[in-house]
A and B are shown apart, each in its own frame.
Chain A
Amino acid sequence: MKKLKILLNGLIKENPVLVLCLGTCPTLATSTSVANAFGMGIAATFVLLGSNVVISLLKKVIPDKVRIPCYIVVIATFVTVVEMLLHAFVPDIYDALGIFLPLIVVNCIILGRAEMFANKNSVGDSALDGIGMGLGFTLALMLMASIREIIGSGTWLGIPLYSGIQPMSIMTLAPGGFFTFGCLVALMNFVTKGKVRKKQKKGCAGCPSAAACAGAEKGECNA
């Protein structure tokens, strides 16, 4: 029961994108089409699972003072593995994700979970947390991508949905990304009756830089 809770935690209650507001950059950049969003989500989930397991295994070995660089090396290794796999097997997705594939390294979801969860919990729990958070990220990304692709290009996963109406291509461009994300966070606020906003105020807990950030003490970070 407890295990299931860890797994489901990342899906809705602590959804990394819509509730904790981590990993905003890849969310906005790769949600232009459902296929890209799915690729990004799965790549990040794989990295998250791998890094959570390894960091949890090494939690007694890594000295506290240099833990962040150590985590970054572990994460960068898994990102390189994913990059090579995607390049070899799904070159289309590899090309579409472009620069955002190596940038998974600095995705705050991954470093945040290492800092918040993996270095305190057992290997099994960390693996479940990685899968849960990764799936939460994928789901949020795909939800956003569906909205943007349907309105912006008139397709879903490349399948044409309607004809005769000109799609609003601005939704697939930068402004549409910010707009869709803003509306989705507002929707989460509405559905959870404001609980999300309270959590966002404490959002700094998930940020790996919180210890060094002046804003974190005052709770000023991330709106």
Chain B
Amino acid sequence: MKEMMIILVGSILVNNFVLSKFMGICPFLGVSKKLDSAVGMSVAVTFVMAMATAVTYPIQRGILDRFNMGYLQTIVFILVIAALVQLVEIVLKKYIPPLYRSLGIYLPLITTNCAVLGVTILNIDEEYTFLQSMVNALGAGLGFMLAMVLFCGVRSRMDESKNIPEHFRGLPITLIAASIVSVAFMGFSGVVEGLFH
């Protein structure tokens, strides 16, 4: 249990996917303008991350490792994720239309989100068990959500400001704000040791 909590808190706060591992920067910069789209995107990412881990982990351990085909990892994983995203989209559209309406527009973007492929490969590299992998995927998704929502708050104030130098308007000032938010997240380093040891 303690080990699970360490993985969960670690992947939400300390090794935040966006702010310290640089994964999923495109949606972080692109979809963080409004709170509802930021939340929608993060929920969709968390969902796909958990699904992708649940599918890729057995494939890696049961097929690729057993038959010594580890070199096919990249190709297999990205295909599984692409197929999974399509499948989730179709299932949601057919059976849960309200959820599809709120998440559907974000799903196609997720195939090319490196955080999803990243978390599935990291789970294998770190040699987590299945349960630990699922916790790590959940933590990565929640960490993504935390970063998105926090940054959305920062951004809504910043975009209203008229005091930004001309050449910094738009993307540059967004990146510099992200840098400051990421300084704040550096403060979490060591929090896991403090809480659990």
Chain A interface (Cβ < 8 Å from any Cβ of B): 21, 24-26, 28-29, 68-69, 72-73, 76-77, 79-80, 83-84, 99, 102-103, 105-108, 111, 170, 173-179, 181-183, 185-187, 189-190, 194, 197, 200, 208-209, 211-215, 220-223
**How far is it, in angstroms, between the C-alpha of A111 and the C-alpha of B108 when the chains are bound?**
14
Q: Which residues from chain B contact A177 at a C-beta distance below 8 Å?
A: 22, 179
Q: Which residues from chain B contact A69 at a C-beta distance below 8 Å?
A: 79, 82-83
Given contacts A29-B22, A173-B186, A186-B167, contact A209 B112 (CB under 8 A): yes
> Can you name the residue of chain A whose Cβ is closest to the Cβ of B24?
A25
For the residues of B in contact with A, the DSSP-based class is helix
Contact of B122 among A79, A99, A181 (CB under 8 A): A99
**How far is it, in angstroms, between the C-alpha of A165 and the C-alpha of B2 when the chains are bound?**
43
**How far is it, in angstroms, between the C-alpha of A179 and the C-alpha of B167 when the chains are bound?**
15
Contact of A106 among B83, B105, B114, B182 (CB under 8 A): B114
A-B interface contact total, Cβ < 8 Å? 152
Given contacts A103-B117, A212-B109, contact A222 B29 (CB under 8 A): yes
Q: Which residues from chain B contact A111 at a C-beta distance below 8 Å?
A: 112
Say yes or no: B172 contacts A186, CB within 8 Å: yes
Say yes or no: A181 contacts B175, CB within 8 Å: yes
**How far is it, in angstroms, between the C-alpha of A175 and the C-alpha of B185 when the chains are bound?**
9
Say yes or no: B72 contacts A182, CB within 8 Å: no
> Can you name the residue of chain B whose Cβ is closest to the Cβ of A177?
B22
Q: Which residues from chain B contact A21 at a C-beta distance below 8 Å?
A: 171
Q: How far is the CB of B161 from chain A (nearest CB, A)?
A: 14
Interface centre among B25, B114, B169 (most CB of A within 10 A): B114
Flag whether B96 is at the interface (Cβ < 8 A).
no
Q: Which residues from chain A contact B114 at a C-beta distance below 8 Å?
A: 25, 103, 106-107
Flag whether B125 is at the interface (Cβ < 8 A).
yes
Flag whether B132 is at the interface (Cβ < 8 A).
no
* Per-residue A-contact encoding for B124-161, CB less than 8 Å = 1, 0 else: 01000000000000000000000000000000000000
Q: Which residues from chain A contact B118 at a C-beta distance below 8 Å?
A: 99, 103
Say yes or no: B26 contacts A24, CB within 8 Å: yes
Q: Which residues from chain B contact A99 at a C-beta distance below 8 Å?
A: 118, 121-122, 125
Q: How far is the CB of A168 from chain B (nearest CB, A)?
A: 13
Given contacts A28-B22, A106-B114, A223-B174, contact A178 B108 (CB under 8 A): no
Q: Which residues from chain A contact B175 at a C-beta distance below 8 Å?
A: 178-179, 181-182, 185
Q: Which residues from chain B contact A174 at a C-beta distance below 8 Å?
A: 19-20, 22, 179, 182, 185-186
Q: Which residues from chain B contact A187 at a C-beta distance below 8 Å?
A: 167
* 8 Å CB interface, B1-49 against A: 19-26, 29-31, 33, 37
Flag whether B176 is at the interface (Cβ < 8 A).
yes
Q: How far is the CB of B99 from chain A (nearest CB, A)?
A: 16
Say yes or no: A222 contacts B171, CB within 8 Å: yes
Q: Which residues from chain A contact B71 at a C-beta distance below 8 Å?
A: 80, 83-84
Q: How far is the CB of B110 from chain A (nearest CB, A)?
A: 9
Say yes or no: A212 contacts B108, CB within 8 Å: yes
Q: Which residues from chain A contact B31 at a C-beta distance below 8 Å?
A: 215, 221
- Could you list some 16 contacts between A and B, CB below 8 A? A24-B29, A25-B26, A28-B22, A69-B82, A102-B121, A103-B121, A108-B26, A174-B19, A174-B182, A174-B186, A182-B171, A182-B174, A209-B112, A213-B105, A213-B109, A223-B29
